[in-house]
Amino acid sequence: MTTQASLYDVSLMQAANMIRLNGARNTMLVQGHMGTGKSSLLKILAEMLPTHRPVYFDCTTKDLGDLMIPKIQEATEGAGDCVRSLPHEELGLHLDGPIILMIDEFGKANPAVKLGVLRLMLERAQAGYRLHPDSIVFATTNLGGEGVGDLLPAHARNRITVVRMRKPTVEEHIEDYGIPYGMDPVIMAWEAENPQVFDSFENVANPDDNQFIFHPKATGRVSFVTPRSLEAASHWMKQRSHMSDHELTAALVGSIGQAAALNLSAYVKIADQLPTLDSIKQDPDNAKLPTNKTAVMMVVHRTLQTLERNWTDAWMRYMARLPREAQAMFANAVRRAAEKSNGINKRLIEVNTNKRYQEWCMANNHVFAADKK
C-alpha cells in the first residue's frame, strides 16, 4: 500500500543521482529507515565522482566544541591580535579541491551541533573557511516515526531539501548491492523468495503480520531484517563451512532476528546442490545442474558476482542448460548493469562484448522487451 507520506519516496540510487546533480548548490537531507543504506550514499557518490574526495562527519559523536577550536591569531600590520577558529578535519574545510561532505545522523545531533553546521550546509562556508565551489554537501537522518530520536527544527528544515528514501525492492537490493558487493548467493535467493523483508513498518498496522522487519510497536524484537543486517548475515553465511549448524543459527538470529533466521536456515541445505565454479569453467557441458528453483537462482547470482572475461564462454555454454527463466534473469541483470554504467558492475558491462552472449541476445531479444514492460 502506498501512503501519502511515501508517495514521493525515492530509491537509494535516485537519491544519489539527485545529490550528484545539485549537491553543490542545495543540501539534501535524506530521511529514511534505519539500516537501508543511507550511509552508503557517500561510497556511491565517490564512485560517481572520482575527482571529489569523500569526507564523513558523524553527528552522533560530536559536541559543539568538536566543530571548531580557537587559535590565537597574532597581530599583523593593520590588525591586532584575535582568535581564529580551526575546523574539525571531518568537516573537510581545510582541504583543497572539491569534496563530498556527508553529515551523517543529523537528526540525532546535539542541538548545538545542528546549529553549528547550518551555515556550512546553507552557504558552504564556516569561520573564515569556504569549500571548493564544486563541493557537494548532503545529510542523512532516520524517519521520525521510528522513534530513535531524530528531531529536525523547522528553521533548519527550511534551509535544506528534505527527501524521503524508501526501502529498496528485492530487485534493487540484489542488483545495486548484492551482486556488485559480493553478498552470499543464499541470502540473495532467500530475499528474492521473501520480498516482505523490505516492507515498511508504516504499511504494517499489526507488527505480528510481518515478523521479519523493524516495527516500533513490536515488543522484544531486538533483531530484524534491514539491508545492513542482511550484510552481517551474509558475512556469517560465508563462514558456514567452518561453523556448526547451532553456531550459524545463533549468529543469524543475532543478526536478522529469530523469525528470519529460522526461515533462512532451510535455504542453507539447498546450497549443497550447487555446482562448483571450477566445474562450470572446466566442463560446462557436464557440470552439475541444480533441480531446485532456488538453487538455480543461487547459481545465477553467484555467477553475476564472479564472472570474468576468461570464462564467459564456458558460462554461456552452461547457462544454455538452465531453465529459460534463469537465462533471462542473467541477461537482464547484464543489460541493467550496462544501462547504469556507474563503474560498480564493470565486469558485467564487459559481458556485452562476448560473442556467445551477443548471439544469445539476438536469438532471445523478446526477453528484454518483456523486462521493460
Q: Quickly state the pLDDT bin for 214 (edges 50, 70, 90).
A: very high
Q: Check: CB of residue 46 under 8 Å from CB of residue 201.
A: no
Q: Is the pLDDT of residue 148 over 60?
A: no
User: What are all long-range contacts of 313-319, with beta carbons under 8 Å and residues at least 24 apart?
Assistant: 313/354, 313/356, 314/280, 314/281, 314/282, 314/284, 315/280, 315/284, 316/354, 316/356, 316/357, 316/360, 317/284, 317/285, 317/356, 318/280, 318/284, 318/285, 318/287, 319/360
Distance of CA 320 to the CA centre of its chain: 32
> For position 64, what pLDDT does the model report?
83
More reliable by pLDDT, 215 or 66: 215
Burial degree of 94 (CB within 10 A; 0-12, 13-18, 19+): exposed
Give the mean pLDDT of 141-164.
76
Give the mean pLDDT of 152-177.
86
What rounded mean pLDDT belongs to the chain?
87
- Out of 62-71, 192-201, 254-263, 357-366, least confident range: 62-71
Q: Is the pLDDT of residue 57 over 50?
A: yes
> For position 151, what pLDDT does the model report?
66
- CA atoms lying within 13 Å on the CB side of residue 195: 5
More reliable by pLDDT, 255 or 152: 255
> For position 281, what pLDDT does the model report?
95
> For position 65, what pLDDT does the model report?
80
Q: Quickly state the pLDDT bin for 81 (edges 50, 70, 90).
A: confident
Q: Which residues contact 306 (CB under 8 A, 6 or more apart)?
A: 277
- Out of 11-15, 66-70, 83-87, 342-346, least confident range: 342-346
* Domains of the chain (ranges, CATH numbers): 12-165 (3.40.50.300), 170-372 (no CATH)
Q: Is the pLDDT of residue 95 over 70?
A: yes
> For position 5, what pLDDT does the model report?
57
> For position 54, what pLDDT does the model report?
95
Q: Is the pLDDT of residue 223 over 90?
A: yes
Burial degree of 372 (CB within 10 A; 0-12, 13-18, 19+): exposed
List pLDDT tens digits, range 224-252.
999 999 999 999 999 999 999 999 999 99
> For position 267, what pLDDT does the model report?
83
More reliable by pLDDT, 334 or 1: 334
> For position 320, what pLDDT does the model report?
95
> For position 86, what pLDDT does the model report?
79
Q: Is the pLDDT of residue 370 over 60?
A: no
Full-model pTM: 0.75
List pLDDT tens digits, range 107-131.
888 888 888 888 899 999 887 889 9
Q: Is the pLDDT of residue 28 over 80?
A: yes
Give the mean pLDDT of 55-64.
90
List pLDDT tens digits, range 268-326.
888 777 899 999 999 999 999 998 888 999 899 999 988 999 999 999 999 999 999 99
Q: Quickly state the pLDDT bin for 342 (edges 50, 70, 90).
A: low
Q: Check: CB of residue 111 under 8 Å from CB of residue 97.
A: no
> For position 1, what pLDDT does the model report?
47
